[in-house]
A and B are shown apart, each in its own frame.
Chain A
Amino acid sequence: MVNPQIEGKTYPRTVSYLVGREKIREFAKAVFSTDPANLDLEAAKALGYSDLIAPPTFAVVIQERSLTTVLADKEAAIDFSRVVHGDQRFIQERPIVAGDELTSELKVASVKTLAGNYMVTFETQIFDQKDALVCTAISTLVVRGEA
């Protein structure tokens, strides 16, 4: 179900993702945000941002691009049909802003077994075009064991 040997493995930097203003608005509406900093350019600028800022969980879109690579990795051998999202964390160095070109680098922080299930924790670091860290996304997937 999961190859425990992948603990510590790192995956190559993803190709860059350009954060669009309309993508931020679309995501903001999908998570029921009414924050003007996500929706109204003038309001975002009045708060000192260069453009719209993304809602706090937007980094999941970038994290997903790295996770897709892991799920496709034959060495990791993760059975996606048995995967449940266990927990999630986003540590922001600064908000994501429209115009950012983001890349991510994923590391398998740990692989643990608990009551017949595997708990795989991924740490994804997200960088901007100046290679400054923007966000660290930490995600644990639970891979359910054979019943």
Chain B
Amino acid sequence: MSLTIGQELPPRQFKITRDSLVRYAGASGDFNPIHYRDEIAQSVGLPGVLAHGMLTMGLAVQTVVDFVGDSGKILDYQVRFTKPVLVDAKTGAVVSVSAKVIEIDEDSKTARIDLTAVCQELTVLGKAQVRVAI
């Protein structure tokens, strides 16, 4: 795989619906009701149901996985959760992810790729860095 510094990977858009949240709750075991019940989300001061931060983290990295072609090449992955992703009951939410090559280390055969994840013009992940084997 040839990468160059500054290279942008093909961006991805992920449509998250309430169904996606139920599916992720079941798959991950995170059944916090703020991810599927509006009245509970509102009772703790949130505008409504939010996506699991770990769902956003999990789908954003797929932008890199698609490009490198093997999940096993992801060596180190970190994010900061900066803004919640609100998921409307009818229209859902769209998370747009772009990825850019920041560093290439020929000695360790790794590269650092940074992600930008945006939902409704807000950056939802900060310091989103992926180290991949090249």
Contact = CB atoms under 8 A, between A and B. Distances in A.
B55 interface: yes
Contacts of B55: 30-31
Contacts of A110: none
Contacts of A86: 80-81
A114 interface: no
Nearest to A31: B58
Interface string B8-52: 000000100000100110111110000000000000100000000
Contacts of A56: 58, 61, 65, 71, 74, 77
Contacts, number: 104
Task: Name the interface size band of chain B.
Answer: 20 to 34
Contacts of A90: 76-78
Given A31-B24, A35-B65, A53-B71, A60 B76 contact: no
Contact of B30 (A26, A64, A84, A88): A64
A53 B70 CA distance: 9
Nearest to B55: A31
B95 to A, nearest CB: 10
9 contacts: A31-B55, A32-B59, A35-B65, A35-B70, A35-B71, A56-B65, A87-B78, A89-B76, A90-B76
Interface of A: 23, 26-27, 29-35, 37-38, 47, 49, 53-57, 60-61, 64, 81, 84-92, 94-95, 138
